[in-house]
Amino acid sequence: MFSLLFALLIAVLDFFALVDVLFSRRPFVEKVLWAVVIVVLPFLGLVLYLMMGRSSRGSDSMI
């Protein structure tokens, strides 16, 4: 049961990370690369994006 909830949580967070990547002001190639990393490596890609990808964006945050 716990693993199902964890997988669902990761899927939802990955979805929001993908939306964040696609609506960012990054060049197209960076968007595609981040999207591939998030989809291919769901948990690790999400962590990498939150640590490296979002912090390098600057002031174009959606929040």
Amino acid residing at 38? I
pLDDT one-digit tens code per residue, 5-59: 999 999 999 999 999 999 999 999 999 999 999 999 999 999 999 999 886 655 4
Q: Is 58 left (phi over 0), alpha (psi -120 to 50) or beta?
A: left
Report the percentage of the chain scoring pLDDT > 70: 86
Q: What is the overall mean pLDDT for the chain?
A: 87
Residue 19 tokens read as 């939306």
Residue 63 banded pLDDT, cuts 50, 70, 90? very low
pLDDT at 53: 84
Global pTM value: 0.78
